[in-house]
Amino acid sequence: DTEVTQTPKHLVMGMTNKKSLKCEQHMGHRAMYWYKQKAKKPPELMFVYSYEKLSINESVPSRFSPECPNSSLLNLHLHALQPEDSALYLCASSQEEYEQYFGPGTRLTVT
Amino acid sequence: GQNIDQPTEMTATEGAIVQINCTYQTSGFNGLFWYQQHAGEAPTFLSYNVLDGLEEKGRFSSFLSRSKGYSYLLLKELQMKDSASYLCAVESGGYQKVTFGTGTKLQVIP
């Protein structure tokens, strides 16, 4: 299984809502990542978990809260988002410093 | 900070060869990735260079010069399906910290 799955594929939420994005991989990778990608822009790193511990937080606003319940799962909890947070949210995983495998992404729209 | 530069757009003919350049300025350089991203899809891995030189993988090759802060991706025997964005990504300041360049949108024409 060389797949990273993400749910939901699409999400529309209001600025007062609370929602969560989910990511799963069964490749035994020990590093998992969240990226944000705006249209026609490259992915921007948000968070990295290594061995289920948060290792990198790229100064992301606190309205984004990551969680790694176990080595296969990664969540991104969303609360009080702004319209400018609308983007494609990509999850990825890797085995140490090797290539990252990306999931298909969740397209988020904040209204 | 980091600075990663790629041409914004390129056009090439089916069956031809195209070279996509990437220059970077960073501290704590570990390695450089190339990813392909079709519109509306997630990036897919193409190559990873750590040492100077050319790495060949089928129709795709990637070159790195650490001293010059320079890399290129070479695509041979271009096919229409190669029309996509090609992202150069630098790993620096520790493993797993990857910064993507702005990407080069390649259009392959008949």
pLDDT tens track for B39-74: 989 999 999 999 999 999 899 999 999 999 999 999
Q: Is the pLDDT of residue B93 over 90?
A: no
Chain A closest-CA separation from residue B100 CA (Å): 6
Chain A closest-CA separation from residue B47 CA (Å): 8
Distance CA A79, CA B24 (A): 36
pLDDT bin (cut points 50, 70, 90) of residue A48 is very high
- Which pLDDT tens digit goes with each residue over A79-108? 999 999 999 999 999 986 678 999 999 999
Check the CA dihedral B37-B32-A95-B99 and report its sign.
negative
Coil, helix or strand at residue B45: strand
pLDDT bin (cut points 50, 70, 90) of residue A1 is low
Pairing of strands A18-25, A4-7: antiparallel
Contact across the interface for B45 and A99, Cβ inside 8 Å: yes
In angstroms, what CA-CA distances link B72 with B8, B36, B65, B96?
Answer: 14, 13, 9, 21
Q: Which residue of A94, A99, A104 is in closest CB contact with B42? A: A104
B24 exposure class (CB count in 10 Å sphere: 0-12, 13-18, 19+)? buried
Give yes or no for A94 touching B (CB within 8 A): yes
Residue percentage of chain A with pLDDT more than 70: 96
Q: Residues A34, A40, A44, CA angle at the centre, nearest 5°?
A: 25
Give yes or no for A90 touching B (CB within 8 A): yes
User: What integer pLDDT is reported at residue B95 of this predicted model?
Assistant: 65
Flag the least confident range among A9-23, A97-111, B44-58, B90-104.
B90-104
